[in-house]
Structure 1
């Protein structure tokens, strides 16, 4: 509704002015008046979608009624205000100048053409330039508010990321350290429960301890799932100080059949790489305890010729059947319940990376290895499972860095740059059109001046009474642009007079004007109007 009212207020004043002036002279029919007002209404109706249309319509209607020219500043201003690109306006103004110049010069004199050129520049180009300036001011203001709002959003996002990062770090630490310790605790309790020579009360207490460790493990997994809504986005905490050898020794002391084959590195590993190696072995041993109890596990640490650190943890097919022995049975009984809330057996698994609620362990492990610049492979192998990590001897990310998102400051700087470019472009359009029109006017003036020169010798050779057919070929092709107004000499009765310059030097303002008058096919008068 607001736009409709605005369009009516735009259409009505010019229509009233044109209609009121038409009642005074009635220079053209009423139907042409109504047609012109209808065309103006249609141009206003589409002015928001096509701002160039009102400009072209108003200029075209000026040929019908000069009062439409009062609408030129307004439509030019709205063109600059509503259109983002300068090229449609530049093409429109240039087209009007190129098409209008020969039309006006063919029907009117040079003074009329120069007047209309001035009107196009001052009533068209300058209001358009003002509209461009207002549009860019509005864009800069909007960019400022957008920057403020984006800064607020970024502050909220940053606070949320800090909270999520802290939750992920806590979850990672709980999963790495506490989960591993609970797994070993359940393993020891299971071995104790099946030790020969224990009384029933001690055996029951050991069973309760095993079941409690299994239940605690399940509850810990639920807490980790709650905390780890998103994968960690940063590197983990620094190394804990426990070596891989100590980690394997503790697992073996708890009853796990595990062996370590290690090649000592030539130089100490960076902290991030060392922590990632420790984390790979820890997670793989924990999963082997849970999903392949009693299976022989081999841990290998080494490096290749290129300096890449190789870590592999491989467990064989789980030992089953009557020949598995007491330790295997104890381990199996102890571990089949880990990962459940009650400690009862829900499933059996045969690989390091199998099972696990949501696979959080391997997901976190891959992320940690990636942060150290390495790669991780986990999959089945000969009925068992293997985890293989390749890490660089020097920590660092691989691949090109992620592009930074565009900030509000960059956005505002971009808007300022576009505003400057827009003003420069608008000024160039104005300058180009002014130079083009000025050059055209100067060229036309020089051409018209040189074509209207009647030399003193040619003037002296003319005689009153000569036949016009003899005189006409001796005269210039054009008359002088500035004939004397009014003519100081009386005009012969029934004669038509022409005026010519005495020379074509435009740098010399003083020149004589030759008046040649003809009537009834003969030269009836020739006079010299001396320049004062």
Structure 2
């Protein structure tokens, strides 16, 4: 039933196309055989069966071109009256005129189905078996005709031009289309991975930061004097819930982010001073020391990562933000309450990659009971002093902060 369904045409256009193909093929077959007027008996016994065979070949040729090629085997280049060229091989064979690539009226149709076989047949071995069958028929025809060298030359060129070369061209076309499809799928996959990395970055920069600020506000309420025990407990639960939500967000980001994708270089469209002010409004004790002059392009990303880490890992700690033309530093003191955040995130890893691409260096580690994140970016025209593009300063421990 499956094979019968494949024989159905998908549209009326395909039906008309195949009917026209069979009609033209029938006319060419009739032109090769006996005259239907002068010898109707021979026409009925020789030509009509070939026309019926051609109808069957056209019927199965669209889904199964190899089957059509085998069905058209009696119409192959087994006659040597006409050829693509006639050459003088008297220096090699007794005959002077040898047909190169013998042709019949049906040769173009056979060549077409041989091409479709290479174009549409995934496996090679059925075509190899069919070609062996065709070669066997060619050997029998040559031996029946006398078997001299001229006939072998004609038959060899005919089989190559009618069957082998079109099949190889179809196979080459199939491989090229497959490579093009794989390249398109690869490009789509890369675009999908880049979009996933962009979503992960936006979630980390915006949602992660906001959750950290919620935890800061909850920690401030938990430490505020004058609250009833139930209120302190509720504030603690809120802080823990915000930390748990941040952890779940980190896990989602880990699924979305691909290590092979470089983190986007464009910072969030927000002023650094506004970022610090928003953190201070949430209850974080943060100060900003902004030196006059241009602000480094990575300042927003560095400060946001530092504030988020301080909020998660050092609740209630004082934070100092210092920004100069070529150096950005975020330092927090000891935490005032227990941290509920887990270590081992990907925020510093992504930031380190962005700093490396910008030609700077990043150091992150414990400092005076707290934690310090510092980024040095060479000024325009200067070389990276460490020639590392992202290595840590000697002696600086690698941080597990996120």
Normalising by structure 2, we get a TM-score of: 0.48
Normalising by structure 1, we get a TM-score of: 0.37
Larger relative contact order (CA 8 Å, sep ≥ 6):
1
